[in-house]
Every structure is written in structure tokens, then in C-alpha cells.
Amino acid sequence: MPPPSKHQGASARDRLLNAAAVLFYNDGIAATGIDAITARAGVAKQSLYNNFASKSDLVTTYIEQRHDEWLALYAARAAAAHHPKDIIIAVFDAYDDHATFAYERGFRGCGLLNAAAELGAGDAGRKAVRRHKEQVEEILHNQLSQLLPDDAGRAETLAAHLAFLLEGAMTRAGLEGDANRLRSARAMARDMLARL
Amino acid sequence: MPPPSKHQGASARDRLLNAAAVLFYNDGIAATGIDAITARAGVAKQSLYNNFASKSDLVTTYIEQRHDEWLALYAARAAAAHHPKDIIIAVFDAYDDHATFAYERGFRGCGLLNAAAELGAGDAGRKAVRRHKEQVEEILHNQLSQLLPDDAGRAETLAAHLAFLLEGAMTRAGLEGDANRLRSARAMARDMLARL
DNA sequence: ATAAATAGGTAGACTGGTCTATCTATATTA
DNA sequence: TAATATAGATAGACCAGTCTACCTATTTAT
């Protein structure tokens, strides 16, 4: 029987990234072996090493792909909004949207945070996760600066506050196995914005 | 040379738990092997299996020990407080205190959350982490119920809000390598309580 | 008091298995 | 033809856990 090959689906690289996304998210990075990834991707082991320098390189690419994916979800939501307050809520909605990207066997929170927890201090992936979270906070900060043009300090504090709500809710949601906490956090954010 | 034995220091069990605490926190659970733990503890491999049923059992004990440790730190802070608002701030202070328990090679956030990120959905340790976070939120909830005796809904929402601030700040602090974000979250909590 | 039993420690070889990564040899595709 | 895929063997490190064999206290029984 001939292999599925790239004709019927995605390239080996994409198939590997899709397989890795599900396995890394559901089982963790260290617990996911090369063989499990290639088997799920329906691809030869060598194809992994043709497309990625190492497992670590695949992990870093996985993280960057999640970041890009979240940005796209956010952009789609933000494009439909006009008021800075709605653009801020779009950040929360994008988190909620993103919460379903790969949970085949239960919700486990933010894949990027879970990955960072497994990675060593100097790892490139860990730094990418940090940059991602800083970028999320920056989006919040930009909108709050528009809402509070003459109180830069308060805009910064509020951006951090909303970022904490987001990450805290996501973390608790991951422990509890569903995204309900994210909805709570969004309601809290709405409430805070209403009081501006 | 005679072995150190229990006379000059801690028991093998305590030595193992102390060694595991540092290694699990700094390197992660999956990345820490049995041999590394026994070597750091200065203990024979069999002593690990005399005191724990498996590595997994050691991990669960590690998590429960962190929980007890945090509770003790919180109790010490709360004992010095009297007003419910001060008791709530004591929760934030205990997080800050706890942030230094085992970081030998840099701050990495909450050891319990990092552990949970590595553990499978049904793992006993993961459930223990969830219970711990629920207990923290319950402490906040109890105090807020005293502050807002006739608005149970608001007390519950505020408890969740403060819990999100705590976990979100801890998560970001872990990514950034220091506990500054925890101090920011405490200031935000103080501000919210002042407005009650 | 002395001897035996018990509890808990040591060092380190060993098993069976998994891991990442490379290599070979063949087949498909453009 | 040249690039890229395949299956699968292989290397070498590492894993959790078991086992043997010995040592040292303390406790119990005679």
C-alpha cells in the first residue's frame, strides 16, 4: 500500500507540525517521543530530520506556530471591533477561541505556558513564550493608552491587571479541564472597562 | 567512613524530599531521574524505594509538601493580621514568601503549576494541585464574605478575581525569572480592597 | 548481661525498555 | 536525473525499578 504522501494532504512538514501540536498539548513535550510524532503524522522518521534540525527545533516551531495562530484569531476578532474597549475584549475572546486548538483528550490550559513549564531557562522556546505574553500585554496596553491618554501610569497598571486576569483564568481553567474560567475573566474585564 | 545516618542530619526520606524539591523545581519532573535525586540526597537508590512506592509517589508527596509549606507560610502571616483585608493580603505575601522555596538556579514560578503542566489528566498530583488552588481561593472567599456579608455573589466574583491576579502574576513572574510581578499583583489587590 | 531479631541504611550490578538521532537501501516524484 | 520520500536497523545514552549482599544501630528475649 502506497503511503498517503503529500498529494492527498499536507506536506510532511505540516503533517508533522499538526501531529506534534496534538501530542505536545495532550501528553506534554518530554512525554512525546519522536516515534509517536512520526507515526501520527504518517511520515518516516527521516522526514522529521529532513524538515527540522532536532526535536527541540520542532518544539520551537510548534510554539511559534501557536503564537501566529493566536495572533490571527485576535486579528479576526479585532477587525470587527472599533472601540478600544471592544478590541480589549477581543483579546479575551481570542484566548477562548484558541482554547480549542488541539485538545483531543481534554482541555489543559495554554499550550504555550505548559510548554514553558517544561523547558529549561535558556531554551529558545521559553523565550518565545515570554515574548508572546509580552505582546499580548502590549496589545492591551496600546488600547488602554488610547482610553486614558493623560494617565500613562494607570494605563500600564491596568494592562498588567488585565494580563494577570487572562493568564490566571487560563491557568485555573487548565487545572479544571474546561474554559469556563476564561468566560468569568472576560466578564471581569468588561466590568472594569465599564468603570473607566 | 561510617554513613551519615539519621543521627547527624535528616532521615533518608527527608533528604530525598529536599533533593527532589530542588531538582523537580529547577529541571522539571520528567527531566529529573531517580539517580540524580539519590545522588543529591546522598542516599542509596534502595532507600528511595524503601520510603516511596515509586517516583510518581515521590512526586505526589513533593506536591503535598509544597501545599503544606504554603499553608504554614500563610498561617504565620495571617496570625499577625486581624482585619479581613489584611488576611487577604497575607495570601499574596505567602505567595511571595513561597517563591523562594527551592530556586537554586533562577525563579521559575509556582512549582505546583509547573508540576501540574507535566502531569497527565488523571494523575493524583494534578488533582492535589487543583485542590491547593481551590483552597487558596476559598481562603480569599471566606474573608470577602465577611467584608460583604449581604452580597454573596460579589464576594464570590471578587475571590475569583483576586485568585486570577495571584495565579496570573505568578505565571508571568515565572516566565520573567523574578517575583516582581507578584508585588504588582499585591498592590492591585490592595487597591481593590481599598475601594470596598 | 548477652544474644538474637528487627529495622533501616549502604553500594552498585542488572533488567527490560525508551529515548534521540543517524544510517542504509529502496522507492517515488518532478 | 536529482531531490525527496519510504521502512527499518542501528548506536549509544538514559530511564525506572529490582536485586544481592553487606553494614549498623536499636530493641527484645533469654
Domain contains B2: no
- In chain B, which residues have their Cβ closer than 8 Å to the Cβ of A30? 28, 30-31, 118
Nearest CA distance, A107 vs chain B (angstrom): 9
Domain contains A189: yes
A123 in the same domain as A31: no
B113 in the same domain as B39: no
Asked whether the predicted pLDDT for residue B1 surpasses 80, the reply is no
A105 in the same domain as A82: yes
Domain contains B24: yes
B47 in the same domain as B62: no
Asked whether the predicted pLDDT for residue B9 surpasses 70, the reply is no
Domain contains B3: no
A109 in the same domain as A18: no
Q: Please report, rounded to whole angstroms, the spatial distance between the CA atom of protein residue A38 and the C1' atom of nucleotide C28.
A: 19
Q: How many contacts does A have with B, using Cβ atoms within 8 A? A: 105
Could you report the predicted ipTM of this complex, rounded to two decimals? 0.91
CATH assignment at residue B72:
1.10.357.10
Q: Please report, rounded to whole angstroms, the spatial distance between the CA atom of protein residue B115 and the C1' atom of nucleotide C8.
A: 31
Asked whether the predicted pLDDT for residue B6 surpasses 60, the reply is no
CB B167 within 8 A of CB B116: no
Q: pLDDT per position in chain A (196 positions), as tens?
A: 233 333 335 888 999 999 999 999 999 999 999 999 999 999 999 999 999 999 999 999 999 999 999 999 999 999 999 999 999 999 999 999 998 777 788 899 999 999 999 999 889 999 999 999 999 999 999 999 999 999 999 999 999 999 999 999 999 999 999 999 999 999 999 999 999 9
Q: What is the mean pLDDT of chain B?
A: 92
Q: Which bases of strand D have any atom within 7 Å of the beta carbon of a protein residue? A: 4-9, 14-21, 24-26
CB B183 within 8 A of CB B170: no
Nearest CA distance, B98 vs chain A (angstrom): 18
CATH assignment at residue B31:
1.10.10.60
Domain contains A87: yes
CB B187 within 8 A of CB B165: no
Nearest CA distance, A136 vs chain B (angstrom): 12
B83 in the same domain as B130: yes
CB A118 within 8 A of CB A126: no
- Chain A residues within 8 Å of chain B (Cβ atoms): 27-28, 30-31, 105-106, 108-109, 113-114, 116-118, 120-121, 126, 129-130, 133, 157, 160-161, 163-169, 171-172, 174-177, 181, 184-185, 188
CB A116 within 8 A of CB A29: no
Domain contains B167: yes
pLDDT the model gives residue B61: 96
CB-neighbour burial class of residue A148 (10 A; exposed 0-12, middle 13-18, buried 19+): middle
B47 in the same domain as B105: no
pLDDT in tens, B31-78: 999 999 999 999 999 999 999 999 999 999 999 999 999 999 999 999
The cell for B79 is 496570625
Domain contains A3: no
Provide the number of structural domains found in chain A.
2
A96 in the same domain as A41: no
Domain contains B62: yes
CB A99 within 8 A of CB A166: no
Domain of A165 in residue numbering reads as 55-194
Which one is predicted more confidently, B98 or B89? B89
CB-neighbour burial class of residue A58 (10 A; exposed 0-12, middle 13-18, buried 19+): buried
pLDDT in tens, B99-130: 877 778 889 999 999 999 999 988 999 999 99
Nearest to A118, CA basis, from A29, A58, A25: A29
Q: Is the CB of A11 under 7 A from strand D?
A: yes
Q: Is the CB of A45 under 7 A from strand D?
A: yes
CB B24 within 8 A of CB B32: yes
pLDDT the model gives residue B5: 33
B189 in the same domain as B107: yes
pLDDT the model gives residue A9: 59
A44 in the same domain as A60: no
Asked whether the predicted pLDDT for residue B7 surpasses 90, the reply is no
Q: Which residue has the cell 494592562?
A: A159
Q: Is the CB of B51 under 7 A from strand D?
A: no
Residue type present at position A104? E
A107 in the same domain as A41: no
- In chain A, which residues have their Cβ closer than 8 Å to the Cβ of B176? 130
Residue B30 and residue A118: Cβ atoms within 8 Å? yes
A103 in the same domain as A69: yes
